[in-house]
Chain A
Amino acid sequence: MKALKSALAAATFLATAGMASATDLEVTHWWTSGGEAAAVKVFADAFNASGNNWVDGAIAGGGNARPIIISRITGGDPMGATQLNTGRDAEDLIQAGLMTDLTELAEKEGWADFIRPSKLLDSCKFEGKIYCVPVNIHSFQWMWLNRSVYESNGLAVPGNWSDFVSSASALREKGVIPLAVGGEPWQINGMAGVFMVALGGVDLYKAINVEKSADAAGGAEMTKVFEAIAAARGMVDDGFVGRAWNDAANMVITGKAGAQIMGDWAQGEFSVAGLTAGKEYDCLPGLGVHPVLDTGGDAFFFPKPAGDKPDVVKAQLEMASLLVSKQVQVDFNLKKGSLPIRGDIDLAAANGCMQKGLKILEKPENILPSGEQAWSSDTQGQMEDLWVEFFNDPDMSVADAQGRYVEIIKTAN
């Protein structure tokens, strides 16, 4: 680490001789997959070019990283900046006054004018002040298909969920796993959210995730979602216990599986593997039924440094400003496979799938809040537990599961 640091420091010194003194800023994140690492490098390069020094603190797996991030902040050894999901992850930390206030910078640069959808910036607000920088829009509402798997087996590439379901058994007979899934609870929870829109409709999604209606949660539309998850049990392989999402994506890439329901971050894996959208693989927003996006994403938070360190705060603000700047947004999102948070930039280089996403984003009625924005991490966790238990337990009836879902919505916060 030391050798690396001095090498970095020397490089930065040479590059920035004459500029203001470089400040080291440690940045923690869990972006360690191929596409993600390429994307985070865009940030690091831009920050280093500004005369500061990005010290990378990657920790694989959000489940590993979050406790470390939170305990470091509460323990008084805060990092310079950290990735978290947009939403309510850091609510309590902000409330405890542990985050640097970005309001002044945001007003000066007019973030409110160009960040779209505006809800994204709202989720960074606490009591009217801004505490985080949304860096991208991620939506779970996608399905990824390997075209050649279908074509080489003489099947039509599905255009929507019901096509997929009807060809699933044919695919199975050819020795291909129809649906690739991973074992992590959030994956199943996300899949349920996708079914909610595709099968229950936008109104159902909003009734539950915005109005938090227990009636809707117990209604007939929602029953369809539970039935779909139950049906999905029969479309997967039995090796998914403990499998990560990108390993599941890799099954689609290599043709072991036909499709995966996963957020648009999966796209980064497809492009790292050298596949082209529309040619080798295809994407169906909203499962081809209701093309909408839920607008989750990633955000950067800047914990207040321990003690009075104006240089650190200055570097934090510089980083915050860089993260939303036009060129960085273009480069970063192209690598990450996510959509940029500003609408005033040219994304001609984006691939077919991203273009689809951008088009959907143009209409405000297509935009839904993501789970992270709607629910506390506690409530989200309860939902994850339920979905993953239901998905794995064929003996659990739809009615039982839905009953428990209603209970969660009733007590949700």
Chain B
Amino acid sequence: MAIEPRGTRPGRMLDPTRIMIYGVLIVAAVYYLLPLYVMIVTSMKGMPEIRLGNIFSPPVEVTFEPWVKAWDTACTGLYCEGLKVGFWNSVQILIPSVIISIMVASVNGYALANWRFRGSEVFFTILIFGSFIPYQVMLYPLVILTRELGIFGSLYAVILIHTIFGMPILTLLFRNYFASLPQELFKAGRVDGAGFWGIFLKIMVPMSLPIFVVAVILQVTGIWNDFLFGVIFAGTKNFPMTVQLNNIVNSTQGVKEYNVNMAATILTGAVPLLIYFLSGKYFVRGIAAGAVKG
């Protein structure tokens, strides 16, 4: 798949159109970067400097103490252990949830794209509809459901919940992607006598790295940032990092320590951010394949 820019041919660097284009892109970039800039600058200031005002001024004396505090000693309730405890809990929730939800959704997408059966489109339609139901509405029944399954308050429950809520969008993307692959490959596989799983594992999956990257990015972002499901369904021992972030940010022990709050915020966002920075190129490529075909 060619991923080269295809717009109008570039002219000289200094023609008015180019200047306008770069101008707009740069102005937009300022708007997008402003909050990150404020976060980083603030997280490196001491409290006396913050009290002086100007949230946009760079730190006079750079300090990493807020970062250390946020990670290591910030108090949430009785424990003053910072974010590090929740970090591993979040990893523990993240890895199985991402793997299982993507496995399920990719098989769904494959079945919908290549092995349609009577009613499969109806289920797909309901699934898309499901992505519009507010989570809060389903909280009560899902508590009851997981209770009846005997998994409430465990990692299994939270994996199940993330699989369910990740399903609509992921299935849509996988379905579109698989439908965009050349049908000849699929037919050739069938001629060779490969079955449902054979074609999936030997032909489809190896060709689908871009869309898997997109799915991983979406799920890592969603699951890592989740607060509600983690704290309700995963059980006490697995409180995710966002719970501690919320505790640090929303509870003031005396003076509101904006620098620690900002450091905590960046630290919590670090995992999804890193994934974006590392795989941004694949993201667009995968999206290109997963979203283009309607």
Task: Determine direct contact between A and B, CB below 8 Å.
Answer: yes
A57 in the interface (beta carbon within 8 A)? yes
Contact present for B250 and A71 (CB under 8 Å): no
Contact status of A32 and B77, CB under 8 A, knowing A60-B251, A269-B254? yes
Taking each of B77, B152, B231, B249, which has the highest tally of chain A beta carbons within 10 Å of its own beta carbon?
B77
Are A272 and B236 in contact, with the CB atoms below 8 A? no
Q: Which residues of A contact B255 (CB under 8 A)?
A: 250
Determine how close the nearest CB of chain A comes to the CB of B47; give it in whole angstroms.
Answer: 12
Given A1-B239, A68-B231, A75-B146: A34 and B254 within 8 A (CB)?
yes
CB of A246 within 8 A of chain B? Answer: yes
A49 at the interface (CB under 8 A from B): no
**Contact at A1–B246, with CB atoms within 8 Å?**
no
CB-defined contacts of B147 to chain A, threshold 8 Å: 74-76
On whether A59 and B231 interact (CB within 8 A), knowing A1-B85, A64-B250, A272-B254, the answer reads yes
Please indicate which of the listed interface residues A68, A76, A77, A246 has the most CB atoms of chain B within 10 Å of its own CB. A77
Task: Tell me the A1-23 residues at the B interface (CB within 8 Å).
Answer: 1-2, 4
Contact-size category for A: 35 or more
Q: Are A74 and B250 in contact (CB under 8 A)?
A: no
Given contacts A57-B236, A60-B246, A68-B231, contact A33 B251 (CB under 8 A): yes
A304 within 8 A of B: no
Given A57-B236, A58-B247, A59-B243, A37-B152 contact (CB < 8 Å):
no
- A26 contacts partner chain B, Cβ-Cβ < 8 Å: yes
**Docked complex Cα distance between A56 and B243 (Å):** 13
1/0 contact string of B7-39 vs chain A (CB within 8 Å): 000000000000000000000000000000000
Bitwise interface map of A from 349 to 361 toward B, beta carbon under 8 Å scored 1, else 0: 0000000000000
A247→B256 contact, CB < 8 A: yes
Verify if A367 is at the interface (C-beta below 8 Å from B). Answer: no
Chain B residues with a Cβ under 8 A of chain A = 75-79, 81, 85, 89, 139-140, 143-144, 146-147, 152-153, 231-232, 235-237, 239, 243, 246-247, 249-256
CB pairs A–B below 8 angstroms (24 shown) = A1-B89, A1-B239, A2-B237, A32-B75, A32-B77, A32-B247, A33-B253, A34-B252, A34-B254, A57-B236, A60-B247, A72-B153, A74-B143, A75-B144, A75-B147, A75-B232, A76-B152, A76-B153, A77-B235, A244-B252, A247-B252, A247-B256, A250-B256, A272-B253
